[in-house]
Amino acid sequence: MALCRSVQGSIDDAVLEKDDRSPVTVADYGSQALVCRSLAASRPSDPVVAEEEAGALRRPEQSTFLARVGRELASVGVEAEGKTICDWIDRGSSQPCQRFWTLDPIDGTKGFLRKGHYAVALALIIDGRVEVAALGCPQLGDPAAGGLVYWAVKDQGARVAPVGNPNDSRPVQVSDCQDMRLARLCESVESAHSAHDRSARIAEDLGLGGQPVRLDSQAKYATVADGAAEIYLRLPVNDTYREKIWDHAAGALVVSEAGGQVSDTHGRPLDFSLGRTLSANRGVVVTNGPLHERVLDAVLASTPSDQHGDGNHD
Ligand SMILES: [Mg+2]
Protein backbone atom coordinates (compact mmCIF):
# COMPACT_ATOMS: atom_id res chain seq x y z
CA MET A 1 0.00 0.00 0.00
CA ALA A 2 2.98 2.32 0.54
CA LEU A 3 3.84 1.79 -3.12
CA CYS A 4 0.29 2.63 -4.23
CA ARG A 5 0.28 5.77 -2.09
CA SER A 6 3.62 6.84 -3.53
CA VAL A 7 2.35 6.47 -7.10
CA GLN A 8 -0.98 8.12 -6.30
CA GLY A 9 0.86 11.03 -4.70
CA SER A 10 2.88 11.59 -7.87
CA ILE A 11 -0.11 11.81 -10.23
CA ASP A 12 -0.33 15.33 -11.56
CA ASP A 13 -3.07 17.06 -13.47
CA ALA A 14 -1.05 17.20 -16.68
CA VAL A 15 -0.93 13.40 -16.75
CA LEU A 16 -4.66 13.16 -16.16
CA GLU A 17 -5.44 15.69 -18.89
CA LYS A 18 -3.59 13.60 -21.43
CA ASP A 19 -5.71 10.64 -20.30
CA ASP A 20 -2.47 8.76 -19.73
CA ARG A 21 -3.25 5.89 -17.37
CA SER A 22 0.41 5.11 -16.69
CA PRO A 23 0.39 6.05 -12.98
CA VAL A 24 -2.35 3.56 -12.25
CA THR A 25 -0.62 0.96 -14.36
CA VAL A 26 2.63 1.41 -12.48
CA ALA A 27 0.75 0.97 -9.21
CA ASP A 28 -1.29 -2.03 -10.51
CA TYR A 29 1.88 -3.83 -11.63
CA GLY A 30 3.89 -2.82 -8.56
CA SER A 31 1.16 -3.85 -6.12
CA GLN A 32 0.60 -7.18 -7.88
CA ALA A 33 4.36 -7.87 -7.96
CA LEU A 34 4.68 -7.27 -4.21
CA VAL A 35 1.66 -9.34 -3.19
CA CYS A 36 2.57 -12.25 -5.50
CA ARG A 37 6.17 -12.12 -4.28
CA SER A 38 5.07 -12.42 -0.71
CA LEU A 39 2.59 -15.24 -1.47
CA ALA A 40 5.38 -17.06 -3.37
CA ALA A 41 7.48 -16.93 -0.20
CA SER A 42 4.77 -17.81 2.31
CA ARG A 43 2.44 -20.09 0.26
CA PRO A 44 4.63 -21.35 -2.62
CA SER A 45 2.21 -24.03 -3.80
CA ASP A 46 -0.91 -21.82 -3.87
CA PRO A 47 -1.98 -20.53 -7.32
CA VAL A 48 -2.94 -16.85 -7.66
CA VAL A 49 -5.70 -15.50 -9.93
CA ALA A 50 -5.01 -11.79 -10.28
CA GLU A 51 -6.31 -9.02 -12.49
CA GLU A 52 -3.06 -8.06 -14.26
CA GLU A 53 -0.45 -9.91 -16.31
CA ALA A 54 3.02 -8.86 -17.45
CA GLY A 55 2.84 -9.65 -21.18
CA ALA A 56 2.99 -6.04 -22.34
CA LEU A 57 5.60 -5.19 -19.74
CA ARG A 58 8.04 -7.78 -21.12
CA ARG A 59 8.24 -6.13 -24.55
CA PRO A 60 11.58 -4.36 -25.19
CA GLU A 61 9.81 -1.05 -25.99
CA GLN A 62 8.36 -1.06 -22.47
CA SER A 63 11.74 -1.20 -20.74
CA THR A 64 11.49 2.42 -19.51
CA PHE A 65 8.07 1.70 -18.09
CA LEU A 66 9.28 -1.49 -16.43
CA ALA A 67 12.18 0.46 -14.93
CA ARG A 68 9.63 2.82 -13.40
CA VAL A 69 7.84 -0.11 -11.75
CA GLY A 70 11.28 -1.23 -10.50
CA ARG A 71 11.95 2.20 -8.99
CA GLU A 72 8.63 2.13 -7.14
CA LEU A 73 9.45 -1.33 -5.75
CA ALA A 74 12.89 -0.08 -4.69
CA SER A 75 11.23 2.84 -2.91
CA VAL A 76 9.56 0.33 -0.58
CA GLY A 77 12.78 -1.65 -0.11
CA VAL A 78 12.37 -4.35 -2.79
CA GLU A 79 15.24 -4.38 -5.31
CA ALA A 80 14.68 -6.64 -8.33
CA GLU A 81 15.51 -7.00 -12.01
CA GLY A 82 12.83 -6.45 -14.63
CA LYS A 83 12.47 -10.13 -15.46
CA THR A 84 12.01 -11.02 -11.79
CA ILE A 85 9.32 -8.35 -11.45
CA CYS A 86 7.48 -9.71 -14.51
CA ASP A 87 7.75 -13.25 -13.12
CA TRP A 88 6.21 -12.12 -9.83
CA ILE A 89 3.34 -10.41 -11.68
CA ASP A 90 2.75 -13.51 -13.81
CA ARG A 91 2.41 -15.71 -10.72
CA GLY A 92 -1.07 -14.14 -10.81
CA SER A 93 -1.97 -15.77 -14.14
CA SER A 94 -3.25 -19.07 -12.74
CA GLN A 95 -6.70 -20.47 -13.42
CA PRO A 96 -9.24 -20.80 -10.61
CA CYS A 97 -9.06 -24.28 -9.05
CA GLN A 98 -9.81 -26.08 -5.78
CA ARG A 99 -7.66 -23.74 -3.67
CA PHE A 100 -6.36 -20.37 -4.90
CA TRP A 101 -5.86 -16.73 -3.99
CA THR A 102 -7.56 -13.96 -5.93
CA LEU A 103 -6.07 -10.47 -6.08
CA ASP A 104 -7.11 -7.06 -7.28
CA PRO A 105 -3.87 -5.08 -6.91
CA ILE A 106 -5.71 -1.77 -7.37
CA ASP A 107 -9.48 -1.95 -7.03
CA GLY A 108 -11.15 1.33 -8.01
CA THR A 109 -8.86 2.65 -10.75
CA LYS A 110 -10.86 5.80 -11.34
CA GLY A 111 -10.84 6.64 -7.64
CA PHE A 112 -7.11 6.05 -7.55
CA LEU A 113 -6.61 8.49 -10.44
CA ARG A 114 -8.73 11.20 -8.88
CA LYS A 115 -6.95 10.68 -5.54
CA GLY A 116 -10.06 9.19 -4.00
CA HIS A 117 -10.86 5.77 -2.58
CA TYR A 118 -9.29 2.57 -3.86
CA ALA A 119 -8.42 -0.78 -2.30
CA VAL A 120 -5.92 -3.63 -2.47
CA ALA A 121 -8.04 -6.78 -2.23
CA LEU A 122 -6.82 -10.33 -1.59
CA ALA A 123 -8.85 -13.44 -0.77
CA LEU A 124 -8.26 -17.18 -0.40
CA ILE A 125 -10.92 -19.33 -2.07
CA ILE A 126 -11.22 -23.03 -1.22
CA ASP A 127 -13.88 -25.25 -2.83
CA GLY A 128 -15.63 -22.15 -4.16
CA ARG A 129 -15.91 -20.48 -0.76
CA VAL A 130 -14.03 -17.42 0.45
CA GLU A 131 -12.07 -18.52 3.53
CA VAL A 132 -9.65 -15.63 4.20
CA ALA A 133 -9.79 -11.98 3.14
CA ALA A 134 -7.56 -8.93 3.40
CA LEU A 135 -8.74 -5.52 2.23
CA GLY A 136 -6.37 -2.56 2.31
CA CYS A 137 -8.18 0.81 2.16
CA PRO A 138 -5.57 3.60 2.06
CA GLN A 139 -8.17 6.40 2.16
CA LEU A 140 -10.23 5.12 5.11
CA GLY A 141 -9.41 6.00 8.71
CA ASP A 142 -6.43 8.35 8.70
CA PRO A 143 -5.14 8.50 5.10
CA ALA A 144 -2.07 10.50 6.18
CA ALA A 145 -1.07 7.55 8.36
CA GLY A 146 -1.66 5.06 5.54
CA GLY A 147 -5.31 4.10 5.98
CA LEU A 148 -6.82 0.87 7.28
CA VAL A 149 -6.47 -2.85 6.65
CA TYR A 150 -9.53 -5.05 7.19
CA TRP A 151 -9.20 -8.80 7.38
CA ALA A 152 -11.48 -11.75 8.02
CA VAL A 153 -11.26 -15.50 8.45
CA LYS A 154 -14.40 -17.56 7.81
CA ASP A 155 -16.30 -18.22 11.05
CA GLN A 156 -13.72 -16.25 13.06
CA GLY A 157 -14.96 -12.69 12.58
CA ALA A 158 -13.46 -9.59 10.98
CA ARG A 159 -10.89 -7.16 12.36
CA VAL A 160 -9.36 -3.85 11.28
CA ALA A 161 -6.11 -2.10 12.12
CA PRO A 162 -4.17 0.94 10.93
CA VAL A 163 -1.71 0.08 8.15
CA GLY A 164 1.57 -1.16 9.60
CA ASN A 165 0.10 -1.53 13.09
CA PRO A 166 -1.62 -4.94 13.28
CA ASN A 167 -1.38 -5.07 17.08
CA ASP A 168 -3.68 -2.06 17.28
CA SER A 169 -6.62 -4.03 15.84
CA ARG A 170 -10.27 -4.08 16.87
CA PRO A 171 -13.24 -6.24 15.85
CA VAL A 172 -15.37 -5.03 12.93
CA GLN A 173 -19.12 -5.01 13.46
CA VAL A 174 -21.98 -3.89 11.20
CA SER A 175 -24.49 -1.31 12.43
CA ASP A 176 -27.58 -2.63 14.24
CA CYS A 177 -29.88 -0.12 12.52
CA GLN A 178 -33.34 -1.51 11.76
CA ASP A 179 -34.97 1.78 10.79
CA MET A 180 -34.93 2.51 7.05
CA ARG A 181 -35.34 6.23 7.71
CA LEU A 182 -31.92 6.20 9.36
CA ALA A 183 -30.23 3.78 6.97
CA ARG A 184 -27.32 5.04 4.88
CA LEU A 185 -26.71 3.81 1.32
CA CYS A 186 -23.35 3.67 -0.42
CA GLU A 187 -22.77 3.06 -4.10
CA SER A 188 -20.15 3.44 -6.84
CA VAL A 189 -19.01 6.87 -7.93
CA GLU A 190 -19.05 5.61 -11.51
CA SER A 191 -22.52 5.26 -13.03
CA ALA A 192 -20.99 2.77 -15.49
CA HIS A 193 -20.56 0.36 -12.52
CA SER A 194 -24.00 0.65 -10.97
CA ALA A 195 -27.28 2.14 -12.14
CA HIS A 196 -27.66 5.36 -10.11
CA ASP A 197 -31.16 6.29 -11.30
CA ARG A 198 -32.46 2.87 -10.29
CA SER A 199 -30.80 3.05 -6.86
CA ALA A 200 -32.32 6.52 -6.36
CA ARG A 201 -35.78 5.01 -7.01
CA ILE A 202 -35.05 2.16 -4.59
CA ALA A 203 -33.84 4.62 -1.94
CA GLU A 204 -37.09 6.56 -2.34
CA ASP A 205 -39.17 3.37 -2.19
CA LEU A 206 -37.45 2.35 1.02
CA GLY A 207 -37.81 5.81 2.52
CA LEU A 208 -34.08 6.32 3.06
CA GLY A 209 -33.51 9.80 4.41
CA GLY A 210 -29.95 10.70 3.48
CA GLN A 211 -28.08 11.23 0.23
CA PRO A 212 -26.17 8.22 -1.12
CA VAL A 213 -22.50 8.07 -0.13
CA ARG A 214 -20.49 7.54 -3.32
CA LEU A 215 -17.21 5.71 -2.89
CA ASP A 216 -14.94 3.88 -5.32
CA SER A 217 -13.80 0.29 -4.81
CA GLN A 218 -14.40 -2.37 -2.16
CA ALA A 219 -14.00 0.41 0.42
CA LYS A 220 -17.84 0.27 0.18
CA TYR A 221 -17.84 -3.24 1.67
CA ALA A 222 -15.53 -1.98 4.44
CA THR A 223 -17.87 0.97 5.08
CA VAL A 224 -20.88 -1.32 5.62
CA ALA A 225 -18.82 -3.86 7.62
CA ASP A 226 -17.60 -1.10 9.93
CA GLY A 227 -21.07 0.31 10.61
CA ALA A 228 -20.60 3.58 8.69
CA ALA A 229 -23.37 2.68 6.21
CA GLU A 230 -26.11 0.05 6.18
CA ILE A 231 -26.64 -0.65 2.48
CA TYR A 232 -24.39 -1.03 -0.56
CA LEU A 233 -26.06 -1.60 -3.93
CA ARG A 234 -24.31 -2.60 -7.12
CA LEU A 235 -27.08 -2.80 -9.68
CA PRO A 236 -26.40 -4.32 -13.10
CA VAL A 237 -26.17 -1.66 -15.80
CA ASN A 238 -26.90 -4.28 -18.45
CA ASP A 239 -27.62 -8.00 -18.66
CA THR A 240 -24.27 -9.03 -20.11
CA TYR A 241 -21.74 -7.76 -17.56
CA ARG A 242 -20.46 -10.39 -15.12
CA GLU A 243 -18.79 -9.32 -11.88
CA LYS A 244 -15.14 -10.39 -11.46
CA ILE A 245 -14.34 -12.53 -8.42
CA TRP A 246 -11.48 -10.24 -7.29
CA ASP A 247 -13.86 -7.27 -7.16
CA HIS A 248 -16.00 -8.96 -4.47
CA ALA A 249 -14.35 -11.91 -2.70
CA ALA A 250 -12.45 -10.02 0.00
CA GLY A 251 -15.17 -7.47 0.65
CA ALA A 252 -17.93 -10.08 0.83
CA LEU A 253 -16.16 -12.09 3.54
CA VAL A 254 -15.28 -8.97 5.57
CA VAL A 255 -18.98 -7.96 5.56
CA SER A 256 -20.38 -11.40 6.37
CA GLU A 257 -17.84 -11.92 9.17
CA ALA A 258 -18.76 -8.48 10.54
CA GLY A 259 -22.36 -9.75 10.85
CA GLY A 260 -23.74 -8.35 7.60
CA GLN A 261 -25.40 -10.03 4.63
CA VAL A 262 -24.27 -10.28 0.99
CA SER A 263 -26.29 -11.59 -1.96
CA ASP A 264 -26.94 -10.76 -5.58
CA THR A 265 -29.96 -8.70 -6.65
CA HIS A 266 -32.11 -11.87 -6.72
CA GLY A 267 -31.14 -12.81 -3.16
CA ARG A 268 -28.78 -15.60 -4.26
CA PRO A 269 -25.45 -16.08 -2.44
CA LEU A 270 -22.40 -15.02 -4.49
CA ASP A 271 -21.02 -18.16 -6.16
CA PHE A 272 -17.21 -18.12 -6.29
CA SER A 273 -16.96 -21.65 -7.69
CA LEU A 274 -17.48 -20.79 -11.38
CA GLY A 275 -14.12 -19.39 -12.48
CA ARG A 276 -13.02 -15.78 -12.90
CA THR A 277 -16.50 -14.27 -12.86
CA LEU A 278 -19.65 -14.52 -10.75
CA SER A 279 -21.46 -15.88 -13.78
CA ALA A 280 -24.48 -17.17 -11.84
CA ASN A 281 -25.08 -13.83 -10.11
CA ARG A 282 -26.47 -10.46 -11.14
CA GLY A 283 -25.31 -7.38 -9.25
CA VAL A 284 -24.64 -7.26 -5.53
CA VAL A 285 -26.75 -6.29 -2.51
CA VAL A 286 -24.91 -5.77 0.78
CA THR A 287 -26.59 -4.82 4.04
CA ASN A 288 -26.09 -4.89 7.79
CA GLY A 289 -28.45 -7.92 7.93
CA PRO A 290 -31.72 -6.78 9.54
CA LEU A 291 -32.52 -4.62 6.49
CA HIS A 292 -31.63 -7.23 3.86
CA GLU A 293 -35.05 -8.69 3.02
CA ARG A 294 -36.69 -5.27 2.75
CA VAL A 295 -33.88 -3.98 0.53
CA LEU A 296 -34.07 -7.07 -1.68
CA ASP A 297 -37.84 -6.65 -2.07
CA ALA A 298 -37.32 -3.07 -3.23
CA VAL A 299 -34.51 -4.09 -5.59
CA LEU A 300 -36.62 -6.88 -7.11
CA ALA A 301 -39.60 -4.55 -7.49
CA SER A 302 -37.36 -2.18 -9.46
CA THR A 303 -35.83 -4.87 -11.70
CA PRO A 304 -36.14 -3.94 -15.40
CA SER A 305 -38.20 -6.54 -17.28
CA ASP A 306 -35.18 -7.65 -19.39
CA GLN A 307 -33.25 -8.63 -16.26
CA HIS A 308 -35.80 -11.02 -14.75
CA GLY A 309 -35.26 -14.76 -14.98
CA ASP A 310 -33.01 -17.31 -13.37
CA GLY A 311 -29.78 -15.81 -14.65
CA ASN A 312 -28.52 -19.19 -15.85
CA HIS A 313 -29.78 -18.97 -19.40
CA ASP A 314 -26.35 -18.18 -20.84
MG1 LIG B 1 -7.80 -3.50 -10.56
| Distance (Å, whole) CA 128 – CA 294 | 28
pLDDT of residue 304: 74
pLDDT tens profile 32-76: 999 999 999 999 999 999 999 999 899 999 899 999 999 999 999
Q: Which residues surround ligand 1, an ion (CB under 5 A)?
A: 51, 104, 106
pLDDT tens profile 235-244: 988 888 899 9
Alpha carbon of 4 to ligand 1 centroid (Å): 12
| Distance (Å, whole) CA 46 – CA 257 | 24
Residue (of 54, 122, 123) closest to 82 by Cα position: 54
Looking at this protein, which amino acid is placed at residue 122?
Answer: L
The residues that are catalytic are 28, 109
Q: Is the pLDDT of residue 312 over 50?
A: no
Higher pLDDT, 79 or 211: 79
pLDDT band for position 311 (50/70/90)? very low
Average pLDDT, stretch 66-94?
A: 96
Mean per-residue pLDDT over the chain, rounded: 91
Question: Residue 152, Cα to own-chain centre: how many angstroms?
Answer: 14
Q: Is the pLDDT of residue 310 over 50?
A: no
* Other Cβ atoms closer than 10 A to 125: 23
Alpha carbon of 293 to ligand 1 centroid (Å): 31
Domain ranges of the chain: 1-99, 180-307
Alpha carbon of 291 to ligand 1 centroid (Å): 30
Q: What percent of the chain has pLDDT over 70?
A: 93
Distances (CA, A) of 295 to 64, 179, 206: 50, 12, 7
pLDDT of residue 284: 96
3-state secondary structure 119-153: EEEEEEEECCEEEEEEEEECCCCCHHHCCEEEEEE
pLDDT of residue 101: 98
Describe the crossing of helices 22-42 and 82-90 by its angle, rounded to 10 degrees.
80
pLDDT tens profile 8-35: 877 765 555 555 666 778 999 999 999 9
Weakest mean pLDDT among 122-126, 146-150, 302-306: 302-306
CATH fold group of domain 180-307: D-Maltodextrin-Binding Protein; domain 2 (3.40.190)
Average pLDDT, stretch 176-199?
A: 87
pLDDT of residue 24: 76
Q: What is the pTM of this model?
A: 0.92
Buried b (16+ CB within 10 A) or exposed e, 131-149: bbbbbbbbbbbeeeebbbb
